[in-house]
């Protein structure tokens, strides 16, 4: 009888400490972001636990251990973490809940390594456990040896490049693709630069040899009568400038444009081809109507060969206003007016 009691007691003790595999209501998954790493390259390990029980919370322990050639760098939540192992102890996972934990790992030496993920959870006094094993290769890319798992895509330095390609800047490129294109681009760029220099020199020579060629007059509207008083059109102003730089006389320009000579002279001053540079400050009489007394004083000073700028200061007006009024009074000749041709 005593022996039977001892046997029953032993069986009870063993059954209370027995470790069960996970039931169908708890799902544990582990995955790698990539199957291989180079030394110094970072990767991720994702652990996922889902509690499908509808009315039971569970306590879970998670442990992640990495083998040789790897090191754990960071993790979102962990109680103990360092070097090659991380632990998450006694975390409550509510019914219907899910826990995702991502670990960052780094390759530190070339080898084949294993990552072990272990979960324990406790329910109704029983302990359940499950293991996940992940295999990963850490390449020592660049050591001159083609190791297991190294390909032209992961380490073309050691594994070499496929046919019709060549190694360039740690990658495989099509033969004659990069180098020839780069060489052709350099040759074309050099040819364009030389062509620009030649054309620039030619244009400069033409401009310096013929500074003001006589222009071909643009066709003007043909109609009866004079154009005096009609607005100046853009193309007419453009033609006038070319005629002026071409050395046309005021008489000839007036005939071409079918305007009187005074209109040509006033327009040349307004365009800045004749006269003086406008001052920033306006004199006191700027814009005022010319009086009889001012006109007489202007005639007197001009006939005494006074300087236009001095006359302008005496009459408190701009030098260009003096030229405009001399044209209106018909006391300045075309030849004298052309002395005030602007330079540049």
Q: Which two tokens stand for residue 6?
A: 């001892």
**Count of H-run helices and E-run strands, the chain:** 10, 13
Whether residue 170 contacts residue 157, with contact meaning beta carbons closer than 8 Å, is answered with: yes
pTM beyond cutoff 0.85: no
Which of 257, 265, 268 minimizes the C-alpha distance to 219? 257
Which of 191, 202, 261, 277 minimizes the C-alpha distance to 226? 261
Q: Give the three-state DSSP class for 50.
A: strand
* Mean predicted confidence (pLDDT) in 272-276: 90
Neighbours of 244 (CB within 10 A): 22
Q: Which pLDDT does position 164 carry in this prediction?
A: 58
**How far is Cα 219 from Cα 239, in angstroms, rounded to an integer?**
9
**How far is Cα 60 from Cα 168, in angstroms, rounded to an integer?**
50
pLDDT digit string (tens) for 27-41? 888 998 888 888 888
121 to each of 13, 124, 265, 288, how far by Cα in Å? 20, 10, 104, 102
Rg for the chain, CA atoms, rounded = 49
**How far is Cα 121 from Cα 84, in angstroms, rounded to an integer?**
22
| pLDDT tier at 226, thresholds 50, 70, 90 | confident
Whether the per-residue pLDDT at 225 is higher than 80: the answer is: no
Q: Which two tokens stand for residue 107?
A: 């390759």
Q: 89: part of which helix (H) or strand (E)?
A: strand 85-93
- Which residues on adjacent β-strands are paired with residue 85? 65, 82
Q: Which residue has the higher pLDDT, 251 or 179?
A: 251
Q: Which pLDDT does position 77 carry in this prediction?
A: 57
Q: Which residue has the higher pLDDT, 23 or 102?
A: 102
Q: Could you give phi then psi for residue 248, rounded to 5 degrees? A: -65, 145
Q: Which pLDDT does position 10 carry in this prediction?
A: 52
Q: What sign for the dihedral angle of Cα 186, 187, 188, 190?
A: positive
Whether residue 315 contacts residue 322, with contact meaning beta carbons closer than 8 Å, is answered with: yes
Q: Which residue has the higher pLDDT, 153 or 204?
A: 204
CATH 2.60.40.10 segments of the chain: 18-139
Whether residue 113 contacts residue 138, with contact meaning beta carbons closer than 8 Å, is answered with: yes
**How far is Cα 30 from Cα 105, in angstroms, rounded to an integer?**
14
Q: Which pLDDT does position 107 carry in this prediction?
A: 85
**How far is Cα 105 from Cα 116, in angstroms, rounded to an integer?**
13
Report the interhelical angle of 261-270 vs 234-245 (nearest 10°).
Answer: 90
Q: Which pLDDT does position 3 carry in this prediction?
A: 56
Whether the per-residue pLDDT at 270 is higher than 70: the answer is: yes
Assign a CATH topology to domain 18-139.
Immunoglobulin-like (2.60.40)
* Mean predicted confidence (pLDDT) in 220-240: 75
**How far is Cα 183 from Cα 222, in angstroms, rounded to an integer?**
59
Q: Indicate the average pLDDT of the chain.
A: 78
**How far is Cα 147 from Cα 141, in angstroms, rounded to an integer?**
9
Q: Give the three-state DSSP class for 25.
A: coil
Mean pLDDT lowest for which of 2-11, 137-146, 161-170, 327-336? 2-11
Cα angle 165, 166, 170 (rounded to 5 degrees) comes to 120
**How far is Cα 153 from Cα 159, in angstroms, rounded to an integer?**
9
Which of 282, 286, 271 minimizes the C-alpha distance to 341? 271
């Amino acid at each position: 009888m005593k022996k039977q009691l001892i046997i029953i007691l032993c069986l009870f003790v063993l059954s209370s400490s027995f470790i069960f595999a996970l039931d169908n209501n708890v799902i544990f998954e582990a995955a790698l972001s990539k199957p291989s790493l180079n030394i110094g390259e970072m990767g991720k390990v994702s652990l996922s636990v889902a509690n499908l029980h509808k009315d039971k919370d569970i306590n879970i322990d998670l442990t992640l251990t990495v083998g040789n050639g790897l090191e754990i760098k960071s993790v979102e939540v962990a109680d103990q973490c360092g070097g090659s192992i991380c632990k998450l102890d006694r975390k409550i996972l509510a019914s219907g809940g899910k826990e995702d934990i991502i670990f960052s790992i780094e390759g530190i030496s070339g080898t084949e390594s294993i990552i072990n993920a272990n979960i324990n959870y406790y329910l109704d006094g029983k302990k359940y456990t499950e293991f996940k094993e992940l295999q990963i290769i850490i390449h020592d890319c660049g050591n001159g040896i083609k190791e297991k798992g190294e390909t032209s895509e992961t380490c073309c330095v050691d594994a070499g490049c496929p046919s019709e390609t060549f190694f360039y800047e740690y990658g495989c490129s099509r033969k004659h693709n990069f180098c020839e294109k780069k060489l052709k681009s350099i040759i074309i760029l050099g040819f364009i630069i030389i062509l620009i220099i030649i054309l620039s020199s030619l244009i400069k020579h033409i401009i310096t040899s013929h500074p003001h060629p006589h222009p071909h007059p643009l066709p003007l509207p043909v109609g009866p009568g004079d154009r005096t008083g009609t607005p100046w059109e853009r193309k007419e102003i453009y033609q006038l400038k070319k005629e002026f730089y071409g050395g046309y006389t005021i008489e000839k320009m007036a005939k071409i444009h079918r305007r009187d000579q005074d209109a040509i002279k006033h327009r040349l001053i307004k365009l800045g081809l004749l006269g003086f540079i406008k001052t920033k400050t306006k004199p006191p009489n700027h814009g005022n109507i010319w009086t009889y007394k001012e006109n007489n004083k202007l005639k007197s000073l001009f006939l005494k060969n006074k300087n236009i700028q001095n006359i302008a200061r005496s009459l408190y007006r701009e030098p260009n206003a003096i030229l405009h009024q001399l044209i209106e009074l018909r006391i300045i000749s075309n030849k004298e007016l052309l002395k005030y041709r602007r330079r540049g």
